[in-house]
Amino acid sequence: MMKNKMQVSCKNFMNEQIIISSAEEGKRIDVVCAQRFPDFSRTKWAAFGKFLLDKKEKAGKTKVQVSEAWHISYEGEMASSFLRDIEAWDLDLPILAESESWVVINKPEGVSVHPSQTEHTSHTIINALVHHFGTNLSENTSDIGGQKISRPGLVHRLDKGTSGVLLVAKTNATHRYFQEHWKEVEKTYYALVQGVPPVRGRVESGIERDTQNRQKMTVGDSDHAKDATTLFERVRTNSGFSLLKITIPTGRTHQIRVHLSEIGFPIVGDGKYGGSKSDRIMLHAAELSFPDPDKKGKQRKVSSPVPGDFISW
């Protein structure tokens, strides 16, 4: 395994001439650029863009007029600044599907998607993505304890013990598209649970942080609880264990694990929520169906084979 800090310098990587349309008249030139080239925000354009009108450099706040011909360029070490403190990790990441703007990987179980307040490590999916894709990832950040933490490419997450399909955005525009259309995404999981639940079931309970253990979630109805729905279908049963096919219209932290435990059918290997001992948490993200931004929103379905130990018991 190799580790190294990302230090990539990308200068003068965009150089374009644009003609202002009637719909853009009266807008700031940095706003126009951000709308036309959404891989970079208006703030980034204002800081690192160069705007020329009639060969004279103008400020980003300059208002444009219809039919003006602007020469614009984007300069500086911008593409790598959000990766500068992330160590690259040479982990094998099986690719299930890929386009110019997104990639779906088959996440291995036992690897965290990103570092957290309780797990400080450079061996996460984020570190592996940086190794494989470098600066070709969206500039995503999360607010952790009041601090902005870089999570490049990460559109959604899977728990450390969960394996399967994970969608990653390569560009900021694609990242925003997935965020705006996330309600159109369909997620299918398989879980091996203790007991024999009904052939079909639906769990609707709010999910919130457990006040007694901040590393756990729980069912609740306080103002902090978020609505959550889990649908399941029993596929097979053997010796007091059952394989379930699960879909979740919502996606809350630990949702499937909490809901199944709450109704008395904990996931095998999930000791945190009452499951029996196993080499892994028996939960697998098997399928993701999402609107493809490269194909005008046409639904794309990507699958990950269910691990053999889910069906060999």
Segment 271-300, tens digit of pLDDT: 999 999 999 999 999 999 999 999 989 999
**Looking at 39, 159, 270, 292, which residue is catalytic?**
159
pLDDT at res. 86: 85
Q: pTM for the full model? A: 0.76
Q: What is the CATH number of the domain that holds 20?
A: 3.10.290.10
Query: Averaged over 137-155, what is the pLDDT?
Result: 79
pLDDT at res. 164: 98
Token representation of residue 29? 């030139």
Select the more confidently predicted residue: 128 or 215: 128
Q: Is the distance from CB of 19 to CB of 32 less than 8 angstroms?
A: no
Rounded mean pLDDT of the chain? Answer: 89
Residue 3 has pLDDT above 70, yes or no: no
Ranked by mean pLDDT, the top range of 4-8, 52-56, 73-77 is: 52-56
C-alpha of 206 from chain center: 22
Kindly state the percentage of the chain with pLDDT values over 70. Answer: 91
Select the more confidently predicted residue: 14 or 187: 187
Residue 5 has pLDDT above 50, yes or no: no
Q: Are residues 18 and 125 in the same domain?
A: no
pLDDT at res. 11: 41
Select the more confidently predicted residue: 80 or 82: 82
Which residue among 42, 61, 80 closes a domain?
Answer: 80
Task: Establish whether 159 is a catalytic residue.
Answer: yes
Which residue among 32, 49, 80 closes a domain?
Answer: 80
Residue 307 has pLDDT above 50, yes or no: yes
Is residue 63 situated within a structural domain?
A: yes
Q: Are residues 151 and 179 in the same domain?
A: yes
Return the number of other C-beta atoms located less than 10 Å from residue 24's C-beta: 19
Q: Are residues 283 and 237 in the same domain?
A: yes
pLDDT band at 84 (very low <50, low <70, confident <90, very high): low
Is residue 31 situated within a structural domain?
A: yes
Q: Are residues 65 and 99 in the same domain?
A: no
Is residue 5 situated within a structural domain?
A: no
C-alpha of 153 from chain center: 6
Q: Which of 123, 122, 184, 174 is nearest to 153 (CA)?
A: 174
pLDDT at res. 275: 95
Q: Are residues 302 and 206 in the same domain?
A: yes
pLDDT band at 81 (very low <50, low <70, confident <90, very high): low
Is residue 122 situated within a structural domain?
A: yes
Is residue 215 situated within a structural domain?
A: yes
Q: What's the per-residue H, E or C state across the chain?
A: CCEEECCCCCCCCEEEEEECCHHHCCCEHHHHHHHHCCCCCHHHHHHHEEEEECCEEECCCCECCCCCEEEEEECCCHHHHCCCCCEEECCCCCEEEECCCEEEEEECCCCCCCCCCCCCCCCCHHHHHHHHHCCCCCCCEEEECCEEEECCCECCCCCCCCEEEEEEECCHHHHHHHHHCHHHCEEEEEEEEECCCCCEEEEECCEEECCCCCCCEEECCCCCCECCEEEEEEEEEECCEEEEEEECCCCCCCHHHHHHHHCCCCECCCHHHCCCCCCCCCEEEEEEEEEEHHHCCEEEEEECCCCHHHCCC
pLDDT at res. 220: 92
Q: Are residues 191 and 131 in the same domain?
A: yes
Q: Are residues 49 and 156 in the same domain?
A: no
Q: What is the CATH number of the domain that holds 229?
A: 3.30.2350.10
pLDDT at res. 9: 40
CA distances from 138 to 170, 188, 305 (A): 5, 25, 27
Which of 16-30, 33-47, 83-97, 211-225 is predicted with the least confidence, judged by mean pLDDT? 33-47
> Which residues, 6 or more positions from 182, have their beta carbon under 8 angstroms from its beta carbon?
156
